[in-house]
Structures are given as structure tokens and as C-alpha cells.
């Protein structure tokens, strides 16, 4: 089933979008990708429309990360990527530990005919 696009004037109940709202710099914000999904457009097209029509949007509609915030975010992403290289090894280790800690399976009696 295709999702219905938001029409002008539609009001979305807060409980349907509450999980998409974050607090950044003390303000409630939504990611452009989540907003684009609600409107049924691509993130690229949403950002393009905002850029073409900046006069129609309030001043606090959009903000960009500062250089310090962007550098911090890039650093955090870099750390996550380093761990991603070892995901399979870590998962194999965790599974091996789980098998060692699992109680032994009870032997079943064979049914012979």
C-alpha cells in the first residue's frame, strides 16, 4: 500500500511523528530525510525546494552544523567505521561465548523400530 502524501493544511498527530523529533541545541528538530519521507519526496528535492524558496520558510526552519559540530560528527563516524571492519569477528566471538555459557542439551532417547 502506498503512503499518502501530506496535503497542505493536513495536521499529523504528534504520536505519529514523535519518534522522528530530536532535541539539538535545545530546539526540537527533524531530519530532512524524515521530513521528505512525510511529504513523499526525496531528500534532494526537499532541500532543493527549500533552497529555491527560502523567503517562504521561517528563519528557524533550518540550520547547518558549525565546523566544530561537523568535525565532531565526522570523528564519531570514523570511529564507528573502524569498529565496523571487525563486526564479523566480534559476532563470531560473542556467538562462541554464548555457546560456551549455554547449558548442555539433554540427550534424547532414540526411538528405534
Helices 87-101/67-84 angle, 10° precision: 50
Using an 8 Å Cβ cutoff, are 29 and 21 in contact? yes
pTM > 0.85: yes or no: no
**Residue 34 reports pLDDT greater than 50:** yes
If asked whether residues 98 and 81 sit together in one domain, one would say: yes
C-alpha 4/C-alpha 15 separation (Å) is 17
Host domain of residue 39: 1-63
Query: Is 85 strand, coil or helix?
Result: coil
Alpha-carbon distance values, 21 to 24, 28, 46, 54, 107 (Å): 10, 6, 18, 22, 52
State which of 2-6, 50-54, 105-109 shows the largest mean pLDDT: 50-54
**Residue 29 reports pLDDT greater than 80:** yes
If asked whether residues 54 and 95 sit together in one domain, one would say: no
If asked whether residues 38 and 90 sit together in one domain, one would say: no
Alpha-carbon distance values, 51 to 25, 54, 56, 87, 99 (Å): 23, 6, 10, 39, 55
Number of domains into which the chain is organized: 2
29: β partners = 22
If asked whether residues 69 and 54 sit together in one domain, one would say: no
Backbone angles phi, psi at 2, to 5 degrees: -80, 135
Q: In the structure grid, which three cell numbers stand for residue 112, read together?
A: 528405534
User: Bigger pLDDT: 47 or 62?
Assistant: 47
In this prediction, residue 1 carries a pLDDT of: 45
Amino acid at each position: 500500500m502506498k503512503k499518502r502524501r501530506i496535503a497542505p493544511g493536513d495536521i499529523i498527530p504528534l504520536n505519529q511523528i514523535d519518534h522522528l523529533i530530536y532535541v539539538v541545541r535545545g530546539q526540537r528538530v527533524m531530519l530532512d530525510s524524515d521530513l521528505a519521507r512525510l511529504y513523499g519526496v526525496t531528500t534532494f528535492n526537499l532541500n532543493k525546494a527549500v533552497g529555491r524558496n527560502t523567503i517562504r520558510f521561517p528563519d528557524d526552519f533550518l540550520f547547518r552544523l558549525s565546523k566544530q559540530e561537523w568535525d565532531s560528527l565526522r570523528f564519531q563516524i570514523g570511529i564507528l567505521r573502524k569498529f565496523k571492519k571487525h563486526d564479523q569477528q566480534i559476532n563470531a566471538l560473542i556467538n562462541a561465548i554464548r555457546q560456551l555459557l549455554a547449558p548442555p542439551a539433554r540427550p534424547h532417547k532414540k526411538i528405534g523400530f
